[in-house]
Structure 1
Amino acid sequence: MKRTRSTSLRRWGVFLALPVLLFLAMNWLIRQMVYPAPPLGVPAAPPGLEDVYIPFSGEAKAHGWLFHAPAAADSTPVMLFFHGNGENLGALRLSGILADFQELSVSFLALDYPGYGRSGGTPSEAALLAAADSAFIWIKENFANSPKIICGWSLGAAVAIQTAAKHSRELAGLIALSPWASLPEVAAVHYPRWLANSLLDENYNSLEAASRVRCPALVIHGEQDAIIPAAQGEKVAANMGGEFRWVKVPQAGHNDLFSRQAVWEEIRSFLKALRESAPSKTPK
């Protein structure tokens, strides 16, 4: 009798544990989909770039590559760039995107997220935003007189918008490429909404944060983006708290956005307009 009762209790224990294990497994899977840090290693900064390590939480440091624009002056903008969730600095270099940014005649800091590349810590919404905030403060301290721009793509757009909302009045501009309205909203495109809402413990509410952005903003989205629908980017653009330009790139998707010449033309035009509108520092 005791053996039968013990066996029955074990079966009930397994039965009751299964939903918990399933929930934990699904939660792990969702987090891996949000933060699929690539296994590709990140080497020391290549020629023309400089390694930067920025403390952001306790002893954790975020790693970035810094590029100084040739013949940079105080009037030369400096850009803080946040990449997508499936990239790191090594991947950006191999894809040629960093080289494209070097052609913009601006200085920039491209940052790896916590848990990505050489950055310490573990990826989470709180950790990414803390690292982004520390990186912007670092830029303010090291480029005090330069116009400051924040740029991000996909997950990076969410980080960029949140950071811009916090430091809006210190910014010359914001560039958001393929932004989502919120993480639950984009998850609901691919999964049942009830499942996304029950498993996600992070929000990245770009729609709300956009309303607190006062600097000029450029929002670019691929018309055929099947990962983050362009309609979400359009909502984010329309909710900006200041002047904005909304661009939907014909026939462009999500992962091929940077390969479109129209994207770089829009970015150059936006940067040119910011330079022309910047107040002159020539003594009167």
Structure 2
Amino acid sequence: MNNSKKVAGLAGVVSVLWMGLTAAVAANQKRLLFNPLGSKREVLKPYSTGHRTRPIVVRAKDGTRLSGWLMTPPVKGPHPGVVYFGGRSEEVSWVARDAGKLFPGMAVLAVNYRGYGDSHGDPAEEHFVEDGRLLFDWLAERHHVDPKRVAVVGRSLGSGVAVQVAMERDAHSIVLITPYDSILALAKRKFKTLPVDYFLQHKFESVKYAHQIKAPAYVLRAAVDDIVPHSHTDQLVQKLGLLHADEIVPDSDHLNIPYLESTQERIASFLASRFNPPAA
């Protein structure tokens, strides 16, 4: 009888601990998923040597202030355009610094998510996607941008935003850097014993939307990635409607991949070939 009571007591303790862990993860999911790290700017004075660079503020539909940078080529347009969506904890001022290598001859819009950098508001999937559509439209409406040649580029967390924006807008091309099938699937992998399906609010289920994307997709994976394992990228790639290429960048990991010269050259080459195809 005593052993039965001990087992029951242990089971009760385990149950309480499990419920406590579940509650803690559920309550802190925004911090765990987004983690904007305050408003620290990665590059103090962002400036692209290949563009005119200016800080901009775009108002979201609900009035929230979104801050970032618009980079335009110094020659007369109309130019092809690119909207960039960053990863978890990523402040996007570095894009303004590297735009000359990443996006030569292209108009580039890089805006921090809500709660990131100087942008106001709280991060959430629905806001990121709604704001992403707004930013795509905003760039396409600039007089110096060709509205029929606007691409989206998403890194890690931002690949989920890029996929949903490309699904609902006429994106010319899409570049996905270390993309995943869904945040839900990654969370279930990380928290195997928790009922993630029931409490995760921001699921970013790219795999559900990928087949609806009509634009050619270019996927770049890190050589070593312990945040988005290749198996989760495989699931997404299999659903993409039009896959241009799926490549692994040598000597890269999940954190350094967008800053590498090899990555930047690959992206620039892909977009240039799409925006300016060789004459038949």
Q: TM-score, normalised by structure 1?
A: 0.80
Structure 2: state its 5+ residue gaps.
1-15
Corresponding position of 2:10: none
> How many Å apart are 1:274 and its aligned residue?
0.8
**Which structure dedicates a bigger proportion of its chain to helix?**
1
Corresponding position of 1:234: 234
Q: Equivalent of 1:55, from 56, 59, 63?
A: 59
- Single out whichever of 231-240 and 132-141 deviates more from structure 2: 231-240
> How many Å apart are 1:45 and its aligned residue?
6.8
> How many Å apart are 1:26 and its aligned residue?
2.2
1:207 corresponds to 2:230? no
1:69–1:102: 8 Å Cα contact kept in structure 2?
A: no
1:67–1:102: 8 Å Cα contact kept in structure 2?
A: no
User: What is the correspondence of 1:214-229 to structure 2 with a 5 Å cutoff?
Assistant: 214-229=214-229
Q: Equivalent of 1:160, from 149, 159, 162?
A: 162
User: What is the Cα-based RMSD across aligned positions, in Å?
Assistant: 2.7
Corresponding position of 1:8: none
2:81–2:146: 8 Å Cα contact kept in structure 1?
A: no
Cα distance in 2, alignment partners of residues 193 and 279 from structure 1: 56
Cα distance in 2, alignment partners of residues 19 and 189 from structure 1: 17
Cα distance in 1, alignment partners of residues 229 and 76 from structure 2: 38
Structure 1: state its 5+ residue gaps.
1-16
> How many Å apart are 1:109 and its aligned residue?
0.6
The residue type paired with residue 207 of structure 1 is V
Q: Equivalent of 2:97, from 89, 96, 99?
A: 99
Corresponding position of 1:197: 197
> How many Å apart are 1:199 and its aligned residue?
3.1
Q: Percent of aligned positions with the same letter in both sequences?
A: 21
Corresponding position of 1:149: 151
Alignment: residue pair count: 256
Cα distance in 2, alignment partners of residues 73 and 163 from structure 1: 24
Cα distance in 2, alignment partners of residues 229 and 181 from structure 1: 10
User: What is the correspondence of 1:99-138 to structure 2 with a 5 Å cutoff?
Assistant: 99-103=97-101, 104-105=103-104, 106-138=106-138
1:71 corresponds to 2:75? yes
Pair 44,55 (structure 1): closer, same or farther in 2 beyond 3 Å? farther
Corresponding position of 1:31: 30
**Which structure dedicates a bigger proportion of its chain to strand?**
2
Pair 269,196 (structure 1): closer, same or farther in 2 beyond 3 Å? same
Cα distance in 2, alignment partners of residues 161 and 40 from structure 1: 26
Deviations 1:168-199 (A, max 9, x none): xx222101101110011111232216443233
